[in-house]
Amino acid sequence: MERYRVVRIEEQMYGCEELPEGAEVCCDVTVEAADGIRKTLSCPDAELTRQGIDEGDTVLWDGTALRKA
């Protein structure tokens, strides 16, 4: 698992393609690794809310989902 700091969360104007039918709201989550490299991940808004993930939090990325560290 990779460890990142959440830099920015922005709601998308469209749904996530990877999500099951009926799920609508996704967010682009910009994260930064310890070496300063940034990437943008697409995550369901409901999952971020459920875990309480917000900007500035440390998260783990397993290649498919974010988890609060």
Task: Say what the pTM is.
Answer: 0.81
Q: What is the per-residue pLDDT across 7-53, written as a single tens digit (0 to 9) for each?
A: 999 987 665 655 555 556 788 999 999 999 999 998 888 889 999 99
C-alpha dihedral over 10, 14, 16, 19, to 10 degrees? 120
Q: How buried is 66 (Cβ within 10 angstroms: 0-12 exposed, 13-18 middle, 19+ buried)?
A: buried
User: Is it the case that residue 59 has pLDDT exceeding 90?
Assistant: yes
Q: ∠ CA(55), CA(59), CA(64), 5° rounding? A: 115
Amino acid at the residue 18: E
Q: How buried is 6 (Cβ within 10 angstroms: 0-12 exposed, 13-18 middle, 19+ buried)?
A: buried
